[in-house]
Amino acid sequence: MQLVWVVHFHQPLGNFPETYCRFLERVCRPFLAALERHPRIRMGLHFSGGFFSYLEHEEPGLLEQIRRIVARSQVELLGGGFYEPILSMIPREDALAQLRKTVVWIQEHFGVTPRGAWLPESVWEPYFPALLAEGGYDYVLLEDNLLERAGIERAALCHPFLTSHLSSTISLLPISSRLSAEIPFRPLRDIHASLVQLWHRPEPQMLILAQRAEAYGFWPSTFHRFYEEAVLEEWLTYLESQSERLTMPLPAETTVGRWPRVFLPSGARTDLEGYALPTTACRSYFAVREDLSHRFDADRFFRFLHGGAWQEFLEKYSEANWMHSKMLSLTRRLHGIANADSLTCRDRLLAAQEHTPYWHALSGGLFANYLRDAVYRLLLQAEEEIDRITPPPATEMTDLDGDREPEVVLRTQICRAIVDPDYGGSLVEMAFLPSHYNVSNTLRRHSQVYPDLPPGELVEDWHRRHLFQEHFVPGGTSLSQFEKESYIEHGDFVNLPYRIVSLAEDGGVRRLLLEREGGIYLDQERRALRCQKLFELEEPDALRIRYTISNESELPLELLFLCEANYSFLAPEGNRFVSVEGEQLPCGLLFEKSGIQSWDLVDEIRFLRWSWTLPEGPCTLWHHPVYTIGYANGEFEHNYQGAALGIVWPLHLASQERQVFTIFTRFQHLQG
């Protein structure tokens, strides 16, 4: 029997320094030290390019340790996309650049050429053989469920397969997903019993294990098990003791030979396919899997049961789609620049393609605002550099998110404001370039699939969380109702289209005038209401929003006008706060203040002060944090996404009367 063992080391860009340190101390050092103590253990290791770069700058000693075990042919290094992209989410030119960058990096630092590619989350498309072959790769590892879906019996997944596209052929190594989850995490006697069953099969067996390195000590319970109780040492010693009937070839050594051919449909890791589905379908998918798991013949059905494609995350989450669309837009701009000598800019865009912030499972990923912020920082740095090479217009209409409706971009030297007329005329991105900060990076509270969620725990937002969204609510509405999404909405302005009246540049001012002829719905009747919204972005750092609200019905209106502004600073406390009336209130605090005419939003970590003033007079200011719920290690967790400002004015309009409300904001870069 041959045992092929591969372990994958990766940390997302933008993760906390303490997370990197814990990963090094609890996983990398003890695992690599164990390999050095057991030179007869041969296996494959995959380090993402971003993590390799981190080691090069912060832990060169670990790179040297890896170099030693590679040089003695104990370890084969696998490649793949340098920054761990989902290859189908990025242009072909970028996919090849990612694949080749890893090859070159490993050649330069280790003197070997990687032949195998690691595919994040086992995301697969039928055209990948041609892409991988052109990128310089001979084989790839994939979860066994994808091959079973193509009609291969599980018992036959005991050797590599060949697959091809357009005459380009690569080898597939089928990962045993069940045993990868069990070995060596179960008691050794149980593992031995499973291996004995394989040894007794008449045909030669190849068992392929592929695992994430976090499993080997990142969590306190696993660190105690593998290193303090020496379970990893016991496992490696066991493998050495079985050398007469178990060999451990390097992954590339197994691809030699005449193997059967298979053609796979699109697919991915099993749970990823489930989470990609719309929420209702997602619940049904996992419920069906749970029901089937109780049948003795469940495997007959599981092999043909699959969920959604990775790309469905972009439809499910507008926030992920916006990041992805911005990345593609900047990539197209850079590709269109003739003779652009901008390796740094190119590399930033490749780094922004790291897959983690664009999707989620029960927790992490898209739910982590600091991972999304890391993407935006890279994108804004790249955008700044591209703008220097080819200066864009100060105002522009363009379809950025792929919905066939134009967004409007307003630019100064240091600010970017992007308005979506089709979604309530709201500001979907507000970027301050000196801090490379998108302050509108707020994830709305989505409905999710969780085991045994406590009643009343999950609040689901009925609209996206942008800046400057218009609500018309009853006079008795409270901050608590606003926070819990339990208020009555009388207007139809928040998520419905505005018409572009004019777009102009006047000296240092960029002006966008939007209008919606909407309605207020009271007593089962519609009362016509017109809302004009004027955005003025003025050099270098001022943004003014002027509302003109006109009652076009024959009856008076007595309501509250509530302008909602969602902003995203990255932590609910500490050096990030709201400065109002001489107080510094944490961004994670729920509070209400009356008679307020000015306040500041301050992030001292990113050197940003965002000042707000109301020229027409004071308001009631509401503020509440926005938390989403995740589920990790058997416990629920609250993930801070940002905060919502509610700027509340009384609206008293007789028939054909109008009121004007103005919000003036200005950015200031604090001295670091």
pLDDT digits (tens, 9 = 90+) for 140-199: 999 999 999 999 999 999 999 999 999 999 999 999 999 999 999 999 999 999 999 999
Question: Looking at the domain assignment, is residue 186 inside a domain?
Answer: yes
Distance CA 315, CA 310 (A): 10
Give me the count of residues in the chain: 672
pLDDT single digits (tens) 415-424? 999 999 999 9
Question: Looking at the domain assignment, is residue 420 inside a domain?
Answer: no
Query: In the chain, what is the greatest distance between 2 CA atoms, to the nearest angstrom?
Result: 93
pLDDT above 90: residue 35: yes
Which CATH number belongs to the domain containing residue 573 in this structure?
2.70.98.10
> Are the C-beta atoms of 113 and 41 separated by less than 8 Å?
no
Question: Looking at the domain assignment, is residue 159 inside a domain?
Answer: yes
Strand-strand pairing, 2-9 and 206-212: parallel
* Whether residue 332 sits in one domain with residue 206: no
What is the pLDDT averaged over residues 9-35?
Answer: 96
Query: How many other β-carbons are positioned within 10 Å of the β-carbon of residue 636?
Result: 17
Confidence of residue 671 (pLDDT cuts 50, 70, 90): confident
Question: Looking at the domain assignment, is residue 425 inside a domain?
Answer: no
Q: What is the DSSP letter of 143?
A: E
* Whether residue 202 sits in one domain with residue 333: no
Distance CA 513, CA 548 (A): 11
What residues pair up with 470 in beta bridges, in sequence order?
Answer: 563
Distance CA 177, CA 151 (A): 17
Residue with the larger pLDDT of the pair 129 and 201: 129
Task: For residue 63, give every residue at least 6 positions away whose Cβ sits within 8 Å of its Cβ, in sequence order, or none.
Answer: 52, 55, 56, 109
Question: Looking at the domain assignment, is residue 30 inside a domain?
Answer: yes
Question: Looking at the domain assignment, is residue 382 inside a domain?
Answer: yes
Predicted pLDDT of residue 336: 83
* Whether residue 116 sits in one domain with residue 78: yes
Which CATH number belongs to the domain containing residue 140 in this structure?
3.20.110.20
Predicted pLDDT of residue 412: 96
* Whether residue 171 sits in one domain with residue 33: yes
Strand-strand pairing, 467-473 and 557-567: antiparallel
What is the pLDDT averaged over residues 610-616?
Answer: 97
* Whether residue 626 sits in one domain with residue 606: yes
Considering the chain, what is the average pLDDT of its residues? Answer: 95
* Whether residue 340 sits in one domain with residue 306: no
CA dihedral 167, 173, 178, 179 (to 10 degrees): 180
Predicted pLDDT of residue 339: 62
pLDDT single digits (tens) 323-354? 999 999 999 999 888 665 567 899 999 999 99
Nearest to 181 by CA among 141, 145, 154, 212: 212
pLDDT single digits (tens) 272-312? 999 999 999 999 999 999 999 999 999 889 888 999 999 99
Q: What is the DSSP letter of 26?
A: I
Question: Looking at the domain assignment, is residue 434 inside a domain?
Answer: no
* Whether residue 482 sits in one domain with residue 624: yes
Distance CA 251, CA 43 (A): 7
Buried b / exposed e over 541-576, threshold 16 CB at 10 Å, is bbbbbbbbbbbbbeeebebbbbbbbbbbbbebeeeb
The count of domains in the chain is: 4
Secondary structure of residue 200 in the 3-state scheme: coil
Predicted pLDDT of residue 393: 95
Predicted pLDDT of residue 335: 87
Q: Whole domain around residue 337: which residue ranges?
A: 318-355+366-392
| 64 token code pair | 């040297």
Distance CA 53, CA 592 (A): 46
* Whether residue 10 sits in one domain with residue 141: yes
Confidence of residue 230 (pLDDT cuts 50, 70, 90): very high
| 526 token code pair | 């519609």
Distance CA 241, CA 416 (A): 63
- Any alpha helices (H) in 86-125, and if so which ranges? 92-110
* Whether residue 312 sits in one domain with residue 190: no
Question: Looking at the domain assignment, is residue 611 inside a domain?
Answer: yes
* Whether residue 236 sits in one domain with residue 382: no
* Whether residue 634 sits in one domain with residue 550: yes
pLDDT single digits (tens) 426-457? 999 999 999 999 999 999 999 887 777 777 77
* Whether residue 282 sits in one domain with residue 340: no
pLDDT single digits (tens) 555-596? 999 999 999 999 999 999 999 999 999 999 999 999 999 999
